């Protein structure tokens, strides 16, 4: 089951279910209490099976009339108050990230650090093989954007890059209730200059894009076998594209949760981004006006323009 949040000029924020034919059914019409994914999560008590059950019930109660359905193309566009459009799929109280979970990420990051520091630094390779993963605070809801909203390019960075990642949404008792796409936008030059600059590399306005949908965990395919693709569009042309598979990740999500929850209260609705297996070459650092498209099978395509922050 794929759930989206969208805006209707007549009705305001709504929760929708993406049907097999691509139409979006306004399930808020079937159950007015469910105006958002966060509301659905609260009503379900953060339990995976119950969330799916409640969403299915609301879907069944929703009239199939034309005023309660939208073609995907009607919603998947730049947002304006005059037209219906997709919103961020949830308002996460927190977003956490795990890094260097893919082998290629470790190799490329080490090579860049060694070149910058004129040394054989191997901090990324070491953490890839270590028992403890890299874990960092990424964002709050106000730093996140949804589909077609601008991601940020730090004003003090010359090498801010897209990082396409599979992310999961947490309920209660460490349960994963769904999956979405995360663009973990990062200022690599700051982090490479000194690892202590990691928070500044990771946390800023528009540093995290989420969407376009949440694929519920109860009906999701194997999360360790999903195709992930990145396309970087500049002046209307694809200048870089790459793909990987989530099966190449070196750590299971239960392991990531084990470290995330250690002495650390995690509220339901928290999003956890699981690391990238696609490392964009330095020459394709984001420029003002670029568009980043990330596609993960079963979830959809997350598209965002890049804007340099003032």
Structural domains of the chain, count: 2
Same domain, 182 and 52: no
Check whether the bond before 212 is cis (ω within 30° of 0): yes
Same domain, 116 and 243: yes
Same domain, 17 and 47: yes
CA pair distance 85, 79, nearest whole angstrom: 5
Q: Give the tens place of pLDDT for each residue, 131-161.
A: 999 999 999 999 999 999 999 999 999 999 9
Q: Is the pLDDT of residue 36 over 50?
A: yes
Q: Give the tens place of pLDDT for each residue, 228-258.
A: 999 999 999 999 999 999 999 999 999 999 9
Mean pLDDT across the chain? 93
Q: Give the tens place of pLDDT for each residue, 218-227.
A: 999 999 999 9
The mean per-residue pLDDT over the stretch 201-214 comes to 98
CA pair distance 220, 232, nearest whole angstrom: 27
Same domain, 170 and 302: yes
The whole-number pLDDT of residue 75 equals 98
Give residue 64's pLDDT band: very low, low, confident or very high (50, 70, 90).
confident
Higher pLDDT, 162 or 129: 162
The mean per-residue pLDDT over the stretch 183-199 comes to 96
Same domain, 145 and 294: yes
Q: Which of 40, 69, 86 is the last residue of a domain?
A: 86
Same domain, 62 and 144: no
Q: According to DSSP H, which parts of the chain are helical?
A: 37-43, 48-61, 72-75, 103-117, 123-129, 188-193, 198-202, 253-260
- Residues 6+ positions from 191 with CB-CB distance below 8 Å: 197, 198, 201, 202
Same domain, 81 and 99: no
CA pair distance 259, 267, nearest whole angstrom: 15
Q: Is the pLDDT of residue 66 over 90?
A: no
Q: Give the tens place of pLDDT for each residue, 72-113.
A: 999 999 999 999 999 999 999 999 999 999 975 545 554 555
The whole model's pTM is what?
A: 0.94
Q: Please identify which residue in the block is written with the tokens 């070196």.
A: 250
The whole-number pLDDT of residue 118 equals 47
CATH code for position 185: 3.90.850.10
Find how far residue 32's CA is from the centre of its chain. 27
Q: Which of 86, 113, 128 is the last residue of a domain?
A: 86
Q: Give how far Cα 56 sits from Cα of 50, 65, 232, 237, Å.
A: 10, 18, 36, 40
Same domain, 37 and 157: no
Q: Give the tens place of pLDDT for each residue, 50-61.
A: 999 999 999 999
Q: Which of 39, 66, 86 is the last residue of a domain?
A: 86
Its domain, for residue 208, covers 95-308
Same domain, 18 and 108: no
* DSSP helix/strand/coil, 10: coil
Q: Are 97 and 273 in contact (CB under 8 A)?
A: yes
């Amino acid at each position: 089951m794929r759930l989206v949040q969208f805006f209707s000029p007549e009705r305001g924020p709504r929760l929708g279910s993406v049907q097999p034919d691509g139409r979006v059914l306004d399930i808020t019409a079937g159950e007015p209490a469910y105006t958002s994914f966060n509301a659905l999560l609260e009503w379900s008590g953060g339990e995976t099976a119950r969330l799916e059950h409640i969403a299915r019930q609301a879907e069944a109660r929703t009239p199939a009339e034309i005023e309660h359905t939208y073609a995907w193309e009607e919603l998947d566009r730049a947002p304006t108050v005059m037209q219906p459009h997709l919103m961020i799929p949830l308002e996460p109280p927190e977003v956490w990230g795990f890094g260097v979970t893919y082998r290629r990420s470790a190799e490329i990051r080490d090579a860049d650090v060694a070149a910058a520091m004129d040394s054989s630094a191997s901090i990324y390779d070491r953490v890839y093989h270590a028992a403890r993963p890299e874990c960092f605070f990424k964002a709050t809801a106000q730093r996140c954007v949804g589909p077609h909203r601008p991601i940020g390019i730090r004003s003090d960075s010359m090498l801010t890059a897209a990082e396409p990642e599979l992310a999961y949404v947490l309920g209660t008792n460490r349960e994963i209730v769904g999956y979405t796409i995360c663009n973990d936008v990062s200022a690599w030059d700051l982090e490479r200059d000194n690892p202590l600059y990691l928070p500044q590399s990771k946390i800023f306005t528009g540093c995290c894009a989420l969407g376009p949908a949440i694929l519920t965990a109860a009906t999701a395919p194997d999360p360790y076998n999903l195709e992930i693709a990145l396309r970087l569009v500049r002046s209307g042309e694809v200048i870089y594209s790459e793909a990987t598979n989530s099966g190449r990740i070196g750590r299971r999500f239960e392991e990531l949760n084990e470290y995330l929850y250690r002495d650390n209260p995690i509220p339901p609705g928290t999003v956890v981004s699981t690391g990238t297996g696609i490392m964009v070459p330095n020459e394709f650092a984001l420029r003002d006006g670029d568009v980043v498209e990330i596609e993960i099978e079963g979830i959809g395509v997350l598209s965002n323009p890049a804007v340099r922050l003032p």
